[in-house]
Amino acid sequence: MKGEAMWMRIGVAMLVVWGGVAGRAVAQSDAAVHKTTYYLHGRIYTNDPKEPWAAAMAVRDGKIYCVGTLEHILLDCGGADNTGDTLQLKGSFVMPGFNDAHVHMGAAGRDKMTLSLNGAASIAEVQQRVKEAVAKHKPGEWIVGAGWDQSRWADQKFPTRLQLDEVAPENPVFLTHISGHVGVANSQALKRAEITPDTKDPQGGQIDRFEDGEATGLLKESAMEMVARRIPDPTAQERRKGIELVLEELARNGVTSVQDNSEWDDFLVYGDLKEEKKLTVRITEWLPFAAPLNELQDRRAQGGTTDPWLKTGALKFVSDGALGSRTAAMLAPYSDDPATSGIRAMDEEKLRAMALERDKLGFQIAFHAIGDKANRVALDVFESVERVNGTRDRRDRVEHAQVLTPEDLPRFANLKVIASMQPSHEMNDLRWAEQRLGPERSKGAYAWNSLEKSGARLAFGTDYPVEPINPLRGLYACVTREASEGGPAGGWEPQEKISLEDCLRAYTSGSAYAEFEEGKKGELKVGEYADFLILSQDITKVAAKEILNTKVVQTVVGGKVVWKE
């Protein structure tokens, strides 16, 4: 009789409420959040190791109210009483929202408002795009762009100012590499920056030069700032418009939380959007490690550390460059360029002293470290901090951790340092990474499995806009270590693959742990935020290649539908 009663009640609970407008990010009224919404007949991946699957769940006041069997939701949680809205999932796959542990929303917003060079297959195509931009600008106006990648060109040569001068002789031009660690300026831009043959390289940067001492236009790491600081800041309207476009892209890709490294002015825009109830993603904002202590304390006080939608978090410092530009700091010279071992941004002793000061104030620290030298220095500094300042729950992080020596791999777990990594980097970099590193060092590159087996905590992201925000690309890279078009057969350094379940944890609950948010997000459990998505297919059942063809059907943040296909 109990079963019969349950199924009779199901007949009463068939009202389907989708909410929103198809094909774009949407907002709902607050009144919708205070209702109970029932999601029935689904294949719900909870990400809870104890109970990983459920058939139904209920959402109330922006949190998971109930989750479990269909009978439990209907009989114990009010789902059969027609007191709320009901969504029939019809077997759809549901999972926790993705938490991208490393993004640059402000930079992505500015990229959307400037010249895109993504996908340019040659320097000639870059020149053509610049030429088209020149036609839309007055002489003397800046032309700014980003996204070029010389490793995709036939000759793989970096561009020079001379090539930009051909198509933009009267406009200052500055184009940033897809990694964000190298830029190329034309002669007009170098002139505005007052870069001459006598200009010395800045600390942590390099001005590339021809044999006669003249600048080629290629600027590495901190040298980029010499030109970048001459570029007019975006207007408030441009900044906000770019961020709004980014928010829509995040929602469309199922990203419900981000850990962001942007300018303070961007954070203020996020605050405005939050006050207007237009924020569609939860944001933890990093602060600049090298800023004065009083400024860091003021911004932490102003931005707060507890708001569920917008708060400040770790202190971020870029300690080296990138592999693609050969500026990542290595213990030995690059295999394909023995003249360089990369660039370090700061002396180790100074870095240690600053870390000790900031740690005493209770800040979490995140060091960008890509090369094996930079990673070793980061771990050495974290070890010193714990020895001097004592043990506490720091959750300090290495952002990227791309190349590690066998000796340093176990230190992450021993020091309780989080490896915040971006699997999609491996998918793109495998085209040339072994050339840079050689076969031996490649064994310690993008070492997800070795780190996980050692007991280290993983947190995954994309480094957006360096990589597309789509987390499904990262999941595919995780389980295949192949390029998006396939190959190499079996994957590059296949011993470092990890399971899809482990990838999902790193992209959800692992990222939550990295920002001290475990128990609040990352799993579909009672009391956690109702941040989840519905996918077009069950990614736990399809072939790995099909992960790339999966679409986000609906994204829900705090019980609100923020995207519906």
Instruction: For residue 9, tell me if it sits in a domain.
Output: no
**Strand ranges, E, within 261-309:** 282-288
pLDDT digits (tens, 9 = 90+) for 307-349: 999 999 999 999 999 999 999 999 999 999 999 999 999 999 9
Residue 203's contacts (CB-CB under 8 Å, 6 or more residues apart) are: 222, 345, 346
Share in percent of the chain as helix, strand, coil (round to 5): 35, 25, 45
Q: What element of type H or E holds 4?
A: helix 2-12
What CATH number has the domain bearing residue 258?
3.20.20.140
Would you say 312 and 301 are in contact if contact means Cβ atoms under 8 Å apart?
Answer: no
Residue 79: pLDDT band with limits 50, 70, 90: confident
Residue 78: pLDDT band with limits 50, 70, 90: confident
Instruction: For residue 20, tell me if it sits in a domain.
Output: no
Do 195 and 146 share a structural domain? yes
10 against 518, higher pLDDT: 518
Residue 17: pLDDT band with limits 50, 70, 90: very low
Look at residues 485, 502, 521 and tell me which one is the last residue of a structural domain.
Answer: 521
Do 160 and 271 share a structural domain? no
pLDDT digits (tens, 9 = 90+) for 283-318: 999 999 999 999 999 999 999 999 999 999 999 999
Give CA separation, 155 vs 149, 324, 413, 430, 512, in Å: 12, 14, 41, 18, 42
Would you say 448 and 421 are in contact if contact means Cβ atoms under 8 Å apart?
Answer: yes
Number of alpha carbons in the 13 Å side-chain half-sphere of residue 346: 19
Least confident of 10-14, 82-86, 219-223: 10-14
Look at residues 179, 204, 228 and tell me which one is the last residue of a structural domain.
Answer: 228
pLDDT at 82: 64
- Please state, in angstroms and rounded to a whole number, the distance separating the CA atoms of residues 68 and 77: 10
Instruction: For residue 501, tell me if it sits in a domain.
Output: yes
pLDDT at 25: 44
Strand, helix or coil at 545?
helix
Given a cut of 60, whether residue 230 has pLDDT beyond it is: yes
Instruction: For residue 408, tell me if it sits in a domain.
Output: yes
Question: What one-character-per-residue DSSP string does 474-509 give?
Answer: HHHHHHH---TT--STT-SSGGG---HHHHHHHHTH
Do 475 and 342 share a structural domain? yes
Would you say 103 and 261 are in contact if contact means Cβ atoms under 8 Å apart?
Answer: yes
Do 452 and 347 share a structural domain? yes
Do 221 and 254 share a structural domain? no
Would you say 508 and 98 are in contact if contact means Cβ atoms under 8 Å apart?
Answer: yes
Do 409 and 313 share a structural domain? yes
Do 156 and 281 share a structural domain? no
Question: What's at 368, amino acid-wise?
Answer: H
Do 281 and 366 share a structural domain? yes
Instruction: For residue 133, tell me if it sits in a domain.
Output: yes
Residue 8: pLDDT band with limits 50, 70, 90: very low
Do 250 and 221 share a structural domain? no
Residue keyed to tokens 């870029």: 318
Would you say 544 and 476 are in contact if contact means Cβ atoms under 8 Å apart?
Answer: yes
Instruction: For residue 162, tell me if it sits in a domain.
Output: yes
Both tokens assigned to 6: 């349950």
Range of the domain at 162: 114-228
Tell me the β-bridge partners of 247.
none
Both tokens assigned to 116: 């895109």
Both tokens assigned to 373: 């030298």
Would you say 126 and 117 are in contact if contact means Cβ atoms under 8 Å apart?
Answer: yes
Instruction: For residue 39, tell me if it sits in a domain.
Output: no
pLDDT at 117: 95
Both tokens assigned to 202: 């800045």
Looking at the chain, the whole-number percentage of residues with pLDDT higher than 90 is 92
Do 244 and 188 share a structural domain? no
In the chain, how many H helices and how many E strands? 21, 25
Do 247 and 194 share a structural domain? no
Question: What one-character-per-residue DSSP string does 12-71 give?
Answer: H---B---S-TTEE----HHHHTSEEEEES-EEE---TTS-EESEEEEETTEEEEEE-HH
Do 377 and 285 share a structural domain? yes
pLDDT at 177: 95
Distant-in-sequence contacts of 264-271, Cβ < 8 A, 24+ apart: 264/299, 265/106, 265/233, 265/239, 266/105, 266/106, 266/109, 266/239, 267/303, 267/310, 267/312, 269/236, 269/239, 269/240, 269/243, 270/105, 270/243, 270/310, 271/310
Instruction: For residue 82, tell me if it sits in a domain.
Output: no
Pick from 401, 376, 408, 356: which is nearest to 514 by CA?
401
Number of domains in the chain: 2
What CATH number has the domain bearing residue 126?
3.10.310.70
Tell me the β-bridge partners of 282.
257
Tell me the β-bridge partners of 184.
175, 218
